[in-house]
């Protein structure tokens, strides 16, 4: 399977996780970690359920990936997430030494992979990561838009 086809495939799986978050009353963001073409960790937003402002989908996934690999460095992995990571998650991604980040919708309020700022290409950061944004962006964005639209109606 070609890389771009794989990206769409895995993003569809992340969208499923985002819908799971939505069903649980959380902001619908899903994330997966791939190593050697294998899904090794996944997560969705859980700040409300866990009473933890840091329980973003990416953080949940990175923690599970570290446990799976028995290493805090997640070298040669690809992280898929339905929304561009915030600065907290981007910092964790850098510290984990993820090799590649693929995200769906751009986040024009807090996105730290290019929309508001780009921590991944800051000249003082010593780790470089390949970033690909906009994969299934419409689908990822629509889930979030509908979620917040319903919230405003209540």
Q: End-to-end alpha-carbon separation of the chain, Å?
A: 44
What does the block give as tokens for 101? Answer: 């980040």
Would you say 54 is a known binding-site residue? no
Alpha-helical runs (H) found in 70-129: 87-96
Residue with tokens 């996105």: 111
8 close to 135: Cβ distance less than 8 angstroms: yes
Q: CB neighbours of 148 closer than 8 A, spacing ≥ 6?
A: none
Residue 139 is among the residues annotated as catalytic for this protein? no
Q: How far apart are CA 75 and CA 58, in angstroms?
A: 16
Q: Residue 122, annotated ligand binder?
A: no
CA distance 77 to 99: 6
Catalytic residue, from 26, 58, 84, 142: name it: 58
- Residue 56 marked as a ligand binder: yes
Specify binding-site residues.
56, 86, 89
Give the catalytic positions in this structure. 58
Specify binding-site residues for Zn(2+).
56, 86, 89
């Amino acid at each position: 399977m070609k890389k771009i086809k794989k990206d769409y495939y895995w993003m569809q799986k992340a969208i499923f996780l985002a819908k799971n978050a939505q069903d649980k009353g959380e902001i619908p963001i899903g994330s997966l970690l791939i190593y050697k073409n294998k899904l090794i960790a996944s997560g969705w937003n859980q700040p409300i359920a866990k009473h933890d402002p840091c329980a973003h989908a990416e953080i949940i996934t990175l923690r599970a990936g570290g446990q799976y690999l028995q290493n805090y460095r997640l070298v040669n992995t690809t992280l898929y997430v339905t929304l561009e990571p915030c600065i907290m998650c981007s910092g964790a991604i850098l510290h984990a030494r993820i090799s590649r980040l693929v995200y769906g919708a751009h986040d024009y309020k807090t996105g730290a992979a290019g929309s508001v700022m780009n921590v991944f290409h800051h000249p003082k950061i010593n780790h470089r990561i390949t970033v690909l944004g906009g994969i299934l962006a419409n689908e990822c964005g629509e889930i979030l838009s509908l979620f917040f639209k319903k919230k405003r109606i209540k």
